[in-house]
């Protein structure tokens, strides 16, 4: 037996899931190997259920739960806790995120388990510090929401299996260990100094020699923490010993989280932001995520115009999407924040009158100057960050889950709660530190996203579920900061407008514009030079980056077959039962 068999639909009977079998195999052979990059499965077809995640072991956990009789909700909870073990740079119990859920009868619900600012946070708390220093301090840590979110999902969305059973695969992976991939080894080596700077005690992610592909990573403290959560529920994280350990870890590095901040944290059920684009209905996350509104605004702005159908990436099409994106991201910066603190008129922002007016100055031959859009915000320089994770799941009955979670940066703040075995986020950076001051993604904001105690920071996460003529059509999302929105948008358009196969749509090169700075960011792939030249002649500035986003998508075909696609940009894995 060889670990490369993970690309095949293998299932082991009994309570011990497939992940335990892998871990045991590693220990017995003392030769911990992982699949080469080209073995990660990027496309799969099934009628029985589909799971697409950022890590092959997390995908296997989801499949194993479905095989045991769990539904998409069961599988999602199990996958989230598994990602906290096997994908520590973004999978987490020390961060937060969003859920968009559609049950088999078409009911759509969304859950906000985004992090919150500590109660003692205040508007100008970061003005005397650089973004870099803030990102690696205790001040950067928001109140985590992931554990509360999974607990709320379990008690509200009719799962089939016991809560403790859903955590068992993650517990076994953490306790027995798993072989790290090449990419994870590179990241652990890269961030070793941060781990050592922010933690004055040994942590499992630091060793004397360099990490190499196939090294076994064991996380005993995390296994113990997950066992407590399995037995006691969310209280094991937000109250008692863990609450004390978390606040101590943060306050040791100048943080301001109080024990009461943890015990009072609650996830919130919110109405998804939903609207139509031609024959499709898009359901995505509402504020404090900007993803859904911004995505739908772009779609509604381009809908009255005819796309060139000869090539999805023609200069005309790119120009149209970019001009709509400029306006939508300007609206994001101006109007959006935590709806519990800021009045957001979603009906107005998605109205035909408002969006038509946005495009009145659109010219198919010339780039509009962002100064004409005028939000009185200075230019910014975006950095490339993708330290978020998304997974998509559809079960045999047609229940669909789209979840995006994050620690913000790679391994969040780098602050490790030793007794709990997990990293803490640095999500406070997603607030507007001051109007016009860019965060690590180059995004600027206004008063709507200013820091306040107990407020949720604005996000670009965009877990999205799409219907075609009322039937489930796509489930998708991505990491990538603001490029999440563009990634989801382009994959949907590639499939819906240009009828590309899902895997091709996911693999296609991408572009992005976020209002400020005034430039089109394109992946450094095989672009037609004439297209880029035509865009420059229209007045656009072009900047190339390595990659953006990492889509995890599922499409329901006409015969109800499920098609899963994982992004070739990373080590994600798509597999069906």
CB 380 within 8 A of CB 442: yes
Q: Please state, in angstroms and rounded to a whole number, the distance separating the CA atoms of residues 6 and 298.
A: 39
3-state SS class at 282: strand
Specify whether the CB–CB gap between 97 and 81 falls below 8 A: no
Give the Cα separation of 85 and 409 in Å (integer). Answer: 17
- Per the CB < 8 A criterion, the answer to whether 574 and 551 are in contact is no
Residues contacting 121, CB < 8 A, separation 6+:
256, 428, 451, 452, 453, 454, 455
Tokens 């994280």 sit at which residue? 237
Q: DSSP secondary-structure letter at 362?
A: -
Give the 3-state secondary structure of residue 543: strand
DSSP 456: B
The whole-angstrom separation of Cα 285 and Cα 96 is 14
Q: Pairing between strand 552-556 and 471-477? A: antiparallel
**Radius of gyration, alpha carbons of the chain:** 22
Residue 48 half-sphere exposure toward CB, CA atoms < 13 A: 13
Pick the closest to residue 494 from 294, 283, 318 (CA basis).
318
Distance CA 70, CA 64 (A): 9
Q: What residues are labeled active site?
A: 388
Whether 146 and 80 have beta carbons less than 8 Å apart is answered as yes
Distances (CA, A) of 325 to 54, 301, 302: 27, 9, 10
Helix (H) or strand (E) holding 303: none
Beta bridge partners of 44: 564
How far apart, in Å, do the first and last CA atoms of the chain sit?
20
* Residue among 390, 402, 491, 489 nearest 102 (CA): 402
Backbone angles phi, psi at 132, to 5 degrees: -65, -45
Facing residues of 404 across strands? 98, 390
SS3 417: strand
515: nearest Cα among 329, 324, 358: 329
Distance of CA 296 to the CA centre of its chain: 18
Burial class (CB in 10 A: 0-12, 13-18, 19+), 177: buried
Give the length of the chain: 577
Which structure tokens are listed for 198? 């922010």
Biggest distance spanned by C-alpha atoms of the chain: 67
Task: Answer yes or no: are the C-beta atoms of 47 and 572 closer than 8 Å.
Answer: no
């Amino acid at each position: 037996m060889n670990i490369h068999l993970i690309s095949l639909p293998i299932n082991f009977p009994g309570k011990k899931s497939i992940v335990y079998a892998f871990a045991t195999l590693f220990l017995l052979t003392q030769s911990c190997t992982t699949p080469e990059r080209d073995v990660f499965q990027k496309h799969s077809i099934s009628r029985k259920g589909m799971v697409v995640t950022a890590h092959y072991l997390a995908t296997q956990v989801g499949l194993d739960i479905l095989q045991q009789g769990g539904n998409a909700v069961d599988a999602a909870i199990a996958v989230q806790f598994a990602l906290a073990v096997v994908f520590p740079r973004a999978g987490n119990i020390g961060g937060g995120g969003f859920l968009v859920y559609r049950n088999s009868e078409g009911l759509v619900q969304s859950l906000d388990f985004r992090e919150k600012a500590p109660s003692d946070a205040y508007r100008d708390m970061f003005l005397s510090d650089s973004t870099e220093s803030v990102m690696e301090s205790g001040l950067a840590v928001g109140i985590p929401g992931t554990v509360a979110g999974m607990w709320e999902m379990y008690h509200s969305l009719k799962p089939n299996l016991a809560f403790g059973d859903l955590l068992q695969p993650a517990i076994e992976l953490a306790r027995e260990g798993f072989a790290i991939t090449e990419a994870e080894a590179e990241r652990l080596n890269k961030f070793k100094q941060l781990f050592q700077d922010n933690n004055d005690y040994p942590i499992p992610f630091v060793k004397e020699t360099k990490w190499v592909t196939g090294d076994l990573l064991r996380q005993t403290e995390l296994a113990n923490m997950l066992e407590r959560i399995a037995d006691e529920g969310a209280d094991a994280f937000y109250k008692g010993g863990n609450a004390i350990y978390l606040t101590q870890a943060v306050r040791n590095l100048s943080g301001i989280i109080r024990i009461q901040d943890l015990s009072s944290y609650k996830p919130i059920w919110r109405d998804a932001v939903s609207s139509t684009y031609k024959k499709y209905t898009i359901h995505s996350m509402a504020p404090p995520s900007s993803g859904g509104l911004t995505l739908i605004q772009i779609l509604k702005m381009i809908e009255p115009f005819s796309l060139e159908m000869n090539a999805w990436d023609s200069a005309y099409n790119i120009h149209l999407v970019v001009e709509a994106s400029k306006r939508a991201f300007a609206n994001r910066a101006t109007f959006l924040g935590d709806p519990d603190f800021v009045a957001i008129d979603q009906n107005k922002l998605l109205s035909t009158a408002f969006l038509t007016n946005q495009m009145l100055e659109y010219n198919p031959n010339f780039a509009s100057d962002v100064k004409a859009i005028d939000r009185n915000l200075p230019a910014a320089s975006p950095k490339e960050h993708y330290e978020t994770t998304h997974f998509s799941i559809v079960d045999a009955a047609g229940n669909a889950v789209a979840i995006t979670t994050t620690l913000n940066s790679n391994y969040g703040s780098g602050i490790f709660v030793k007794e709990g075995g997990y990293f803490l986020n640095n999500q406070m950076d997603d607030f507007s530190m001051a109007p016009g001051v860019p965060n690590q993604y180059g995004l600027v904001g206004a008063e709507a996203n200013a820091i306040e105690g107990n407020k949720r920071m604005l996000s670009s996460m965009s877990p999205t579920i799409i219907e075609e003529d009322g039937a489930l059509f796509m489930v998708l999302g991505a990491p990538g900061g603001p490029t999440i929105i563009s990634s989801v948008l382009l994959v949907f358009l590639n499939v819906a407008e240009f009828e590309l196969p899902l895997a091709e749509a996911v693999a296609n090169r991408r572009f992005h514009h976020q209002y400020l700075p005034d430039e089109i960011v394109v992946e450094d792939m095989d672009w037609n030079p004439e297209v880029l030249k035509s865009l420059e002649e229209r007045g656009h500035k072009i900047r190339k980056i390595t990659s953006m986003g990492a889509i995890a998508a599922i499409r329901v075909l006409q015969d109800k077959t499920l098609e899963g696609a994982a992004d070739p940009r990373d080590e994600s894995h798509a597999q069906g039962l």
